[in-house]
Amino acid sequence: MNAARTPPIRWYFDFISPFACLHWPKVRALAEREVVEFRPILFAGLLDRHGQKGPAEIPGKREFTYRHVLWRARRSGVPMRFPPAHPFNPLAALRLCLAAGATPEAIAAIFDWIWCEGRAGDSPQALAPVAARLGIDDIAAAIAAPAVKARLREN
Q: Which tens digit of pLDDT belongs to each residue from 38-47?
A: 999 999 999 9
- Torsion angle of C-alpha atoms 15, 93, 49, 65, degrees rounded to 10: 30
pLDDT at 53 exceeding the cut of 70:
yes
> In this structure, is residue 86 part of a structural domain?
yes
pLDDT at 1 exceeding the cut of 90:
no
DSSP per-residue letters across 72-100: HHHHHT------SSSS---HHHHHHHHHT
> In this structure, is residue 1 part of a structural domain?
no
Answer yes or no: pTM beyond 0.85. yes
Point out which residues pair with 9 in neighbouring strands: 36
> In this structure, is residue 4 part of a structural domain?
no
Q: Which amino acid is at 27?
A: V
pLDDT at 103 exceeding the cut of 70:
yes
Q: What is the CATH number of the domain that holds 107?
A: 3.40.30.10
Domain of 16 in residue numbering reads as 9-154
Smallest Cα–Cα separation from 70: which of 24, 19, 20, 13? Answer: 19
